[in-house]
């Protein structure tokens, strides 16, 4: 018998892409509410409590309200795609490559990572955390991260703005450094300081490139660039959604192309300056794939006891070469 699944917020960008991925899956039966009942608290409460799984594709406050609707004895297991619970007690962070597959599989409340933190943490967390391996990089370094995303990451308002303003090509924002993703970046990389984060948006519907510059020669570490690369290879050896570029691979350029297909993986690159001393850790992903809807499906698969990659879109040319 298929598991019942309710997507609260199914009409939003993330909800639509989750539903598209799950529609052909016989393991799940989607519970849907018509446009009028989607705004009815009683209908939402019933759908939430009667489902085996619920996915919240809502603004933060609405996600908190939805969680409050769940009865104490309800069997429903929740994946929250908002940022409301990403550092909250009692919630498991839905990045199984870092958190651990078993932790996600056994969780009743999973908070989906943000798209920018997915890139940041996949690059940095294996190098700064000390839970599975000795850290290679100091947790108290003032890390910086520069990132560019497709405009779909801003939801319907930003999608409409790019459609209406034909001259709009680049948007830098978060200029006062109060971005809501900072807390999860700091917490899940086990950092002393929040990183200095420079996000931006370009005229491409989907896609993301995230860059962490490392002045390795000035840092308090004996680790080399090869050590960092070897750590990635070790940690991600059995992670099908993560691809690590071969040592020394140089694609020449990394591109975001408007009209690119959806993709649920992430590519990691390490670039070293001649003579060493300076590095760039670079991640490329789809902000709507591994950065949102693909990550929801990956966690859902684990929670439902299904193959981790079922329904994921992991084909595609590797940007790094091997």
Per-residue confidence (pLDDT) for residue 319, from 0 to 100: 65
Tell me if 309 is assigned to some domain: no
- Asked whether the beta carbons of 119 and 210 are under 8 A apart, the reply is yes
Per-residue confidence (pLDDT) for residue 39, from 0 to 100: 81
| CATH classification of the domain holding 79 | 3.40.50.720
Q: How many helices (H) and strands (E) does the chain have?
A: 10, 13
Distance between CA atoms of residues 121 and 251, nearest Å: 22
Q: Are β-strands 196-202 and 170-172 bridged in parallel, bridged antiparallel, or unpaired?
A: antiparallel
Per-residue confidence (pLDDT) for residue 321, from 0 to 100: 47
Distance between CA atoms of residues 256 and 150, nearest Å: 8
Tell me if 320 is assigned to some domain: no
Tell me if 315 is assigned to some domain: no
Scan for tokens 């996915």, then name that residue. 55
Tell me if 321 is assigned to some domain: no
Write out the residue range of the structural domain in which residue 123 sits: 115-287
Number of domains in the chain: 2
pLDDT in tens, the chain (322 residues): 899 999 999 889 999 999 999 999 999 999 988 878 888 889 999 999 999 999 999 999 999 999 999 999 999 999 999 999 999 999 999 999 999 999 999 999 999 999 999 999 999 999 999 888 899 999 999 999 999 999 999 988 999 999 999 999 999 999 998 889 999 999 999 999 999 999 999 999 999 999 999 999 999 899 999 999 999 999 999 999 999 999 999 999 999 999 999 999 999 999 999 988 899 999 999 999 999 999 999 999 999 999 999 999 998 767 654 4
Assess whether 104 and 249 both reside in one domain.
Answer: no
Assess whether 24 and 123 both reside in one domain.
Answer: no
Assess whether 90 and 218 both reside in one domain.
Answer: no
Largest CA distance in the chain: 64
Tell me if 319 is assigned to some domain: no
| CATH classification of the domain holding 141 | 3.30.360.10
User: What residues act catalytically?
Assistant: 115
Per-residue confidence (pLDDT) for residue 103, from 0 to 100: 98
Tell me if 78 is assigned to some domain: yes
Query: Distance between alpha carbon 305 and the CA centroid of its chain, in Å?
Result: 21
Helices (H), the chain: 13-22, 41-50, 60-68, 96-99, 101-106, 115-128, 155-164, 182-188, 225-235, 294-303
Per-residue confidence (pLDDT) for residue 43, from 0 to 100: 92
Tell me if 311 is assigned to some domain: no
């Amino acid at each position: 018998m298929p598991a019942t699944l309710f997507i609260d917020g199914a009409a939003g960008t993330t909800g639509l892409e989750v539903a598209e991925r799950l529609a052909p899956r016989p393991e799940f039966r989607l519970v849907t509410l018509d446009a009028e009942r989607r705004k009815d608290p009683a209908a939402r409460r019933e759908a939430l409590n009667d489902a085996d799984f619920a996915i919240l594709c809502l603004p933060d406050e609405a996600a908190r309200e939805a969680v409050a609707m769940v009865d104490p004895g309800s069997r429903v297991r929740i994946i929250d795609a908002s940022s409301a619970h990403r550092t909250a007690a009692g919630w498991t962070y839905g990045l199984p490559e870092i958190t651990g597959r078993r932790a996600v599989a056994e969780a009743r409340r999973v908070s989906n990572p943000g798209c920018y933190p997915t890139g940041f943490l996949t690059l940095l967390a294996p190098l700064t955390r000390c839970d599975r391996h000795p850290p290679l990089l100091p947790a108290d370094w003032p890390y910086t991260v520069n990132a560019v995303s497709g405009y779909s990451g801003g939801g319907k308002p930003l999608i409409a703005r790019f459609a209406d303003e034909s001259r709009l090509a680049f948007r830098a924002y978060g200029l006062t450094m109060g971005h809501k993703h900072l807390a999860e970046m700091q917490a899940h990389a086990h950092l002393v300081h929040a990183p200095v984060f420079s996000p931006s948006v370009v005229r491409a519907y989907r896609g993301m490139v995230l860059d962490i510059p490392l002045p390795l020669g000035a840092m308090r570490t004996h680790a080399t660039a090869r050590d960092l690369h070897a750590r990635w290879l070790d940690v991600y050896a059995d992670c099908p959604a993560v691809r690590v570029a071969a040592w020394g691979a140089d694609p020449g350029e990394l591109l975001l192309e408007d009209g690119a297909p959806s993709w649920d993986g992430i590519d990691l690159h390490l670039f070293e300056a001649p003579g060493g001393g300076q590095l760039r850790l670079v991640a490329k992903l789809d902000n709507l794939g591994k950065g949102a809807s693909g990550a929801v499906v990956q966690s859902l698969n684990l929670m439902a006891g299904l193959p981790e990659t079922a329904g994921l879109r992991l084909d595609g040319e590797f940007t790094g070469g091997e």
